[in-house]
């Protein structure tokens, strides 16, 4: 008879390491400007109150990940920004409904507990929560040996927001002659990385030795919460769209009401160096527009008379500009002209 002892640790799961990580999360997420916010990290669930200043609260929930951008983080051994991406991908979606982000939870699955890596990811998540004005209230870390290869992991985020019933951004608020504004992105954000990585492999480009790509490929997704919530509170926008996978056409199409058309002039788009680099390296216009934000991270739909008021809520780096107008029509989105990639 074999008397060999079997333990969870020998199977590849380190409970003590996970407990240390939970303790770290509890400490880092419970402080905001020196004041303790939550004390239930590590419990079975998060209990939170609905703010009493919202008369008719509607709950909005979103979930997303950062896709294969995590593979770039693995190559560069840099994990302090993808947590910001994780928060951004969900909270920017909440804004489209008019909701203010309130709560965020994360899920991290990894082949083996690596405390320095996990702490770096969590610091980014906490930073993203601080930028967006929400709180990290819980999550899950799963050590899964055999499911992931050595050093591999995945992350997912879950955000909950609130909006007063009277301020929900519905399709019905979008009208003829409304302007379509482009709000600049911070770069690729968290979409199209499988195509980027395919290009890098085919062209045998080592990003570790490329200063430009090292600085561009892990730029965190811009979080638009502060600006957009201020606009919603002042009734300055009729609709908005988060420009993620599918690009301008697919994402704006989702918010346009029946019998209306978003006429977009691609000549107006101010693109960025990373998109120019991708275009120069062989990606077609069609593929660029279908896969990437191309320099437009978020779109606002507003009344023309509100344009100058809207501009006051943005810094110079993310100042919105007009790229189109809402007209009568049936196809929902019409892209006119083409992006001048190299102007």
Residue 213 lies in a domain: no
The domain that holds 153 is classified in CATH as 3.30.1330.10
Residue 40 lies in a domain: no
Are 132 and 66 found together in one domain? yes
Are 82 and 227 found together in one domain? no
Say if CB 161 and CB 232 are below 8 A apart.
Answer: no
Residue 191 lies in a domain: no
Sequence-ordered strand ranges (E) for 132-237? 135-143, 153-164, 179-184
Q: What mean pLDDT do residues 229-252 have?
A: 95
Res 75: pLDDT? 96
Question: 28-83, pLDDT tens digit by residue?
Answer: 666 654 444 555 665 677 777 888 888 899 999 999 999 999 999 999 999 999 99
Residue 244 lies in a domain: yes
Are 117 and 151 found together in one domain? yes
Residue 210 lies in a domain: no
Are 231 and 251 found together in one domain? yes
Are 283 and 162 found together in one domain? no
Residue 215 lies in a domain: no
Lowest mean pLDDT among 19-23, 38-42, 184-188, 258-262: 38-42
Domain tally, the chain: 2
Are 151 and 263 found together in one domain? no
Question: 102-132, pLDDT tens digit by residue?
Answer: 999 999 999 988 999 999 999 999 999 999 9
> Whole domain around residue 311: which residue ranges?
171-186+222-336
Say if CB 236 and CB 309 are below 8 A apart.
Answer: yes
Are 116 and 255 found together in one domain? no
Question: 277-306, pLDDT tens digit by residue?
Answer: 999 999 999 999 999 999 999 999 999 999
Question: 154-171, pLDDT tens digit by residue?
Answer: 999 999 999 999 999 999
Are 241 and 317 found together in one domain? yes
The 8 Å CB, 24+ separation contacts for 232-236 are: 232/95, 232/98, 232/167, 232/169, 233/167, 234/309, 236/302, 236/306, 236/309, 236/310, 236/313
Residue 276 lies in a domain: yes
Res 297: pLDDT? 98
The count of other CB atoms within 10 Å of the CB of residue 90 is: 27
Burial class (CB in 10 A: 0-12, 13-18, 19+), 128: buried
- pTM, whole model, 2 decimals? 0.90
Q: For residue 84, give the nearest of 220, 268, 242 by alpha carbon.
A: 220
Residue 48 lies in a domain: no
Are 159 and 251 found together in one domain? no
Are 154 and 178 found together in one domain? no
Are 250 and 124 found together in one domain? no
Are 20 and 129 found together in one domain? yes
The domain that holds 273 is classified in CATH as 3.90.650.10
Place of tokens 């909440």: 94
């Amino acid at each position: 008879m074999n008397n060999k002892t079997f333990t969870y640790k020998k199977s590849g799961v380190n409970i003590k390491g996970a407990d240390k990580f939970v303790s770290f999360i509890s400490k880092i997420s419970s402080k905001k400007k020196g004041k303790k916010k939550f004390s239930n990290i590590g419990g079975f669930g998060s209990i939170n109150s609905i703010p009493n200043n919202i008369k008719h609260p509607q709950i909005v929930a979103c979930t997303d990940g950062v896709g294969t951008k995590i593979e770039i983080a693995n190559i560069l051994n840099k994990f302090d920004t993808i947590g910001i991406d994780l928060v951004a991908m969900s909270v920017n979606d909440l804004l489209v409904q008019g909701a203010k982000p309130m709560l965020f939870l994360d899920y991290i699955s990894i082949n083996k507990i690596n405390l320095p890596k996990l702490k770096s990811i969590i610091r980014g998540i906490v930073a993203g929560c601080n930028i967006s004005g929400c709180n990290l209230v819980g999550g899950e870390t799963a050590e899964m040996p055999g499911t992931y290869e050595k050093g591999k992991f995945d992350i997912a985020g879950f955000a909950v927001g609130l909006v007063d019933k009277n301020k929900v951004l519905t399709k019905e608020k979008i009208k003829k002659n409304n302007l379509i504004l482009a709000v600049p992105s911070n770069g690729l954000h968290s979409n199209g990385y499988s195509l980027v990585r395919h290009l890098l492999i085919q062209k045998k480009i080592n990003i570790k030795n490329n200063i430009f790509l090292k600085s561009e490929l892990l730029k965190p997704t811009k979080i638009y919460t502060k600006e957009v919530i201020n606009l919603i509170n002042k009734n300055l926008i009729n609709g908005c769209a988060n420009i993620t996978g599918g690009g301008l056409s697919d994402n704006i199409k989702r918010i346009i009401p029946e019998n209306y058309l978003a006429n977009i002039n691609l000549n107006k788009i101010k693109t960025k160096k990373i998109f120019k680099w991708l275009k120069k390296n062989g990606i077609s216009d069609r593929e660029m527009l279908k896969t990437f934000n191309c320099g437009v991270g978020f779109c606002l739909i507003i009344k023309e008379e509100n344009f100058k008021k809207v501009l006051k809520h943005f810094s110079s780096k993310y100042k919105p500009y007009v790229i189109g107008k809402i007209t009568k029509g049936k196809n929902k989105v019409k892209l006119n002209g083409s992006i001048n990639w190299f102007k």
